[in-house]
Chain A
Amino acid sequence: MVKQFFSLAGAASGVKMFFLKGEAWRLSFLVMLALVAVITAVQPGYILPYNLLVKLRTWLPLILAAYGQTFVILGGGIDLSVGTMIALVNVTAVEVMAAGGFSPPSIVLGLLCGIAAGLAAGAVNGFCVAYLRFQPIITTFATGIIWTGLALWIRPESGGGVPMELYDLYSGQFLFFPLVVWVVLALFGLSWVLKKSSFGVHLKAVGGNAPAAFETGLPVARIRLSSYMICSVFVSLASFCILGETITGNPYAGQGYDLESISAVALGGTSLAGGIGGPVGSVFGAAILKLVNDAIFFLGIPVNFQRLMQGLILVGALAAGGVLSKKNRGKSKDES
Chain B
Amino acid sequence: MTLLSAQSIKKRFGGVTALSGADFDLRSGEVHVLLGSNGCGKSTLCKVISGVVRPDSGTVRVKDRLLEDITPRLSRERGVGVVYQELSLVPSLSVAQNILLGMEKVNGLGILRDTKNEEALEEIFSEFRDLFPRGFSLETMVHALTPDLQQLVEIMKVLARDPEILIFDEPTASLSKEQIDLFFGILDRLKAKEKGIIFISHKLEEIFRVGDRITIMRGGKHVGCSTISSITRDEIVHLMVGDIFQSEYRKSSPYRSGRELLGGRGLSGRSIREIDFSLGQGEILGLGGLQGQGQRAFLLTLFGVEPLHEGTLEREGRAVSLKSPKQAMRESLAYISGDRKKYGVFLIRSILENLFISRVILNTMPLFRRKTLKGSADSVIQDLGLVYDTLDRPVSTLSGGNQQKVIIGRWLLNNPAVILMDDPTKGVDVKTKKDLYELMERMCQAGCSVIWNSSDDQELLQNADRVLVFREGRVIRELSGKDLNESTLYRAALGVDDPAEEGR
Query: Direct contact between A and B in the complex (CB less than 8 angstroms)?
Result: yes
- Across the interface, name the chain B residue whose C-beta is closest to A201: B97
- Across the interface, name the chain A residue whose C-beta is closest to B133: A6
Shortest A203–chain B CB gap in Å is 11
| Majority SS at the chain B contact face | loop
Shortest B74–chain A CB gap in Å is 8
Shortest B323–chain A CB gap in Å is 21
- Across the interface, name the chain A residue whose C-beta is closest to B135: A10
Shortest A299–chain B CB gap in Å is 38
Chain B residues contacting A197 (CB-CB under 8 Å) are: 106, 109-112
Q: Cβ of B133 and Cβ of A10 under 8 Å apart?
A: yes
Q: Cβ of B141 and Cβ of A13 under 8 Å apart?
A: yes
Interface size on A, residues (CB 8 A): 44
Q: Cβ of B144 and Cβ of A16 under 8 Å apart?
A: yes
Q: Cβ of B88 and Cβ of A193 under 8 Å apart?
A: no
Query: B64-88: contact bitstring with A at CB < 8 Å (1 yes, 0 no)?
Result: 0000000111011100001010011
For the complex, give the distance between the alpha carbons of A333 and B88 in Å: 12
Q: Cβ of B90 and Cβ of A212 under 8 Å apart?
A: yes
Q: Cβ of B102 and Cβ of A13 under 8 Å apart?
A: no
Contact A212-B87, Cβ < 8 Å, known A10-B134, A217-B73, A218-B101: yes
For the complex, give the distance between the alpha carbons of A214 and B82 in Å: 12
Query: B274-285: contact bitstring with A at CB < 8 Å (1 yes, 0 no)?
Result: 000000000000
Chain B residues contacting A218 (CB-CB under 8 Å) are: 73, 101-102
**Which of B52, B75, B141 has the most C-beta atoms of chain A within 10 angstroms of its own C-beta?**
B141
Q: What is the size category of the interface that chain B forms with chain A?
A: 35 or more
CB of A280 within 8 Å of the partner chain: no
Q: Cβ of A201 and Cβ of B93 under 8 Å apart?
A: yes
For the complex, give the distance between the alpha carbons of A13 and B136 in Å: 9
Pick from A16, A193, A213, A216: contact of B141, CB under 8 Å? A16
Q: Cβ of A209 and Cβ of B145 under 8 Å apart?
A: no
Shortest B306–chain A CB gap in Å is 15
Chain A residues contacting B135 (CB-CB under 8 Å) are: 7, 10, 14
Chain A residues contacting B374 (CB-CB under 8 Å) are: none
CB of A301 within 8 Å of the partner chain: no
- Across the interface, name the chain B residue whose C-beta is closest to A21: B139
CB of A336 within 8 Å of the partner chain: yes
Shortest A47–chain B CB gap in Å is 36
Q: Cβ of B90 and Cβ of A205 under 8 Å apart?
A: yes
Q: Cβ of A208 and Cβ of B90 under 8 Å apart?
A: yes
Interface pairs (6), CB distance under 8 Å: A3-B133, A7-B133, A10-B134, A201-B104, A204-B93, A205-B97
16 additional contacts, CB 8 Å, given A212-B90, A275-B93, A331-B143? A5-B146, A7-B134, A9-B146, A16-B141, A17-B139, A17-B140, A197-B109, A199-B110, A201-B101, A209-B88, A212-B87, A215-B52, A215-B84, A216-B72, A216-B76, A218-B101
Contacts from B to A (Cβ < 8 Å): 50, 52, 71-73, 75-77, 82, 84, 87-93, 97, 101-102, 104, 106, 109-112, 133-137, 139-146, 157, 176, 341-342, 472
Which 6 residue pairs spanning A and B have beta carbons closest together? Answer: A330-B143, A6-B133, A13-B144, A330-B91, A215-B88, A212-B88
